[in-house]
Amino acid sequence: MDKTKVWDAVLERMSEKISRMEFHTWFKKVQIVEISGAALVLGCPTEMNKNWLESKYHGLILSNLKSVLPEIERLYFKVDLSLADRPDEKKAPKAFAEQRAPRKLPNQPDARIEPGLDTRITQAKFTLKNFIVGEETKFAHAACEAVVGTKLNEKKKYNPLFLYGGVGLGKTHLLQGIANEMRAKYPNAKVLYITAERFMNEIVDAIKTRKADEMRKKYRRVDAFLLDDVQFFEGKEKTQEELFNTFNDLYEFNRQIVFSADRPPSELTGISDRLRSRMGWGLLADLQMPNFETRLAIVQSKAQEQQLILPPDVQEFIATNVRSNLREVENILNQIGAECDISGVSPTVQTVGKILRKINPERAIEITSDGKSALARSTDDVITAVGEYFQTPATDLLGASRKKEIVYPRQIAWLLCKDVLRMSYEAIGEDFGGKNHTTIMHGVRKMRDLARKDSPTARHLHALKMDLGAK
C-alpha cells in the first residue's frame, strides 16, 4: 500500500478518538516518510509538533497503524521542516467532517432580554465542561453543575450559591459557565451574569435618569441572577439596599441566585448584616489553588484552546511556577504564542523562564522534576547557553584550543556545570571531550577567583545563571 493511503486509513480510524481541532493542530501536516520492515517513521513539520505527538499520541497512532499494517511494531517521529510549508496539506478525512460541530454557546446579547440587561460580557469560552476539576475545586464545580441541573421554576436546592476564593482561581469562569450552560439548556430563560461593579453603575445611572423603577422590574424578572465580585459592594450602601430588595424578590419566586467574592460572607465587613446573612443562606463553596497535576491539566487544556503545542517539560515548568493566580497561565501562553509566531522557534524552558520573569520579576523560579534542574538539565544546555552568550561554537567549547577567547568561555561553562548542575570535576571532564579532572578543577578555580576581582566576569556569570534559571 502506498504511504499516503496508509496514513489516510490510520487517520480515518483515529477520527473517533481525536477531535477535529486536534487533527488540524497536530496531524494536518504530518506524513509517513518511511516504512522499513517493522518500523515506521512519521515526519512532523516542527520540533514542537514532533514532541507533542511523541508524548501524547504515540500509543494511539501505533495501535491504529497496526490495524492497518499489522507488521508494524515500532513507530518513530522525525522533524521534516519541508512539511511545514507544503501547500498540499491533508484535508481532514471525511469522518472528521461528519463530526458534530462543537455546540456554539451564546455570547451574543440575548435578544429576549430587554435592553439594559446587557449580557455581552459573558464569554462563550467559559463552560463548566472546560473547567478542570481538582480536589480543591471539586465541591464548587459540583455545586455549579447542580445549579444548572435544577429546573427553572422548581424550588432551588442551593440558593443562593456563594462561591469564594482568591484572585484568578476560577470564580468568573464558573459563573459564566453556569450562564452559558443554562442558556443552552433553557433557550428561553433570562439568565443574567453581571459584575458587581457594573450592577452598581447601572443603579447609579438609573437613579440619575429617574428610571430606577424600570431597572428594578428588569432585574426582578430574571430566572437566574449571577453576580460576580460582590466584595466590591463594601461601603456602597445604596447599591446594597437595591441588591437586598432584588434578592428578596428573586428568592421568593424561586429564582436562582449565585454570588462570587474573594472572601466568605462573614468576612465582608463593609456589607450590611441583613445582606450578609442572606448571602450565607444557601450553599457556601470555596475555591483553592489546585495542586500540580490539576494545574498541569489546566495548562494543557488552555494550550489546546490556543492551538499551541508545548513540549512536556515546558508544560510542567509552567504548572510548577504558576502558584497563586491561574490567570497567569493564559498570559504566559499568549506571550509564548506571540513569541513563537515572531521568532518561529519552539518554546523551551529557558524562553518560558524569561517570560515568567518578565511577568513577575520578584518570583523565585522553581525547577521541575526530581530535584534535577529542568532549567539546565545537562551539559548540553550549559554549552548552548554559553555558546550563544559568547558566540563561541560548541565544538570550540568542547575542544582543546588554547586560544584565550575560547579558553575563557570554556572555563565559564565548567564553572556553571559545577555550580548550576552540581557536577563532579570528573563528570565535567568527561563531558568536555575527556579532560582530566585536575584541568577542570584548575579552570573552575581560576574563574571563581576572576569573578571575585573582575566585574565583567561576575556579570557574565550572573547573566548566564539567570539564563539557566539558577538564582
Interface ranges with ligand ADP (CB under 6 A): 131-132, 137, 165, 167-173, 298, 326-327, 330
CB of 195 to Mg ion, least distance (A): 8
CB of 126 to ligand ADP, least distance (A): 6
CB of 169 to Mg ion, least distance (A): 9
Q: Check residue 172 for interaction with Mg ion (CB under 5 A).
A: yes
Considering the complex, state which of residue 171 and residue 295 has its C-beta at the smaller distance from Mg ion: 171
Burial of 82 (0-12, 13-18, 19+ CB in 10 A): exposed
Q: Which residues pair with 233 in a beta bridge?
A: none
Q: Which residue has the cell 489546546?
A: 304
CB of 175 to ligand ADP, least distance (A): 8
Looking only at the bridges linking them, the beta strands covering 39-44 and 224-228 are unpaired
Choose the one of ligand ADP, Mg ion, none that binds residue 105, judging by a C-beta under 5 to 8 angstroms depending on kind: none
Considering the complex, state which of residue 171 and residue 435 has its C-beta at the smaller distance from ligand ADP: 171
Q: Check residue 240 for interaction with Mg ion (CB under 5 A).
A: no
Considering the complex, state which of residue 132 and residue 319 has its C-beta at the smaller distance from ligand ADP: 132
Choose the one of Mg ion, ligand ADP, none that binds residue 326, judging by a C-beta under 5 to 8 angstroms depending on kind: ligand ADP
Q: Which helix (H) or strand (E) is 100 found in, with range?
A: none
Strand-by-strand arrangement of the 31-36 sheet: 31-36, 39-44, 74-79
In angstroms, the CA 91 to CA 88 distance is 9
Q: Strand, helix or coil at 426?
A: helix
CB of 169 to ligand ADP, least distance (A): 4
Choose the one of Mg ion, ligand ADP, none that binds residue 131, judging by a C-beta under 5 to 8 angstroms depending on kind: ligand ADP
CB contact at 8 A, 262 and 166 = yes
Torsion of CA 169, 171, 172, 174, to 10 degrees: 110
Considering the complex, state which of residue 195 and residue 320 has its C-beta at the smaller distance from Mg ion: 195
Considering the complex, state which of residue 171 and residue 418 has its C-beta at the smaller distance from Mg ion: 171
Q: Check residue 137 for interaction with Mg ion (CB under 5 A).
A: no
Q: Which residue has the cell 470555596?
A: 286
Stretch that binds Mg ion, among 168-176, 277-285, 302-310, 365-373 (CB under 5 A): 168-176
Q: How many CA atoms lie within 13 A of 424 on its CB side?
A: 5
Considering the complex, state which of residue 172 and residue 346 has its C-beta at the smaller distance from Mg ion: 172
Considering the complex, state which of residue 19 and residue 401 has its C-beta at the smaller distance from ligand ADP: 19
CB of 118 to Mg ion, least distance (A): 18
In angstroms, the CA 379 to CA 433 distance is 12
Q: How many CA atoms lie within 13 A of 470 on its CB side?
A: 21
Nearest to 172 by CA among 217, 104, 229, 211: 229
Task: List contacts with Mg ion (CB under 5 A).
Answer: 171-172
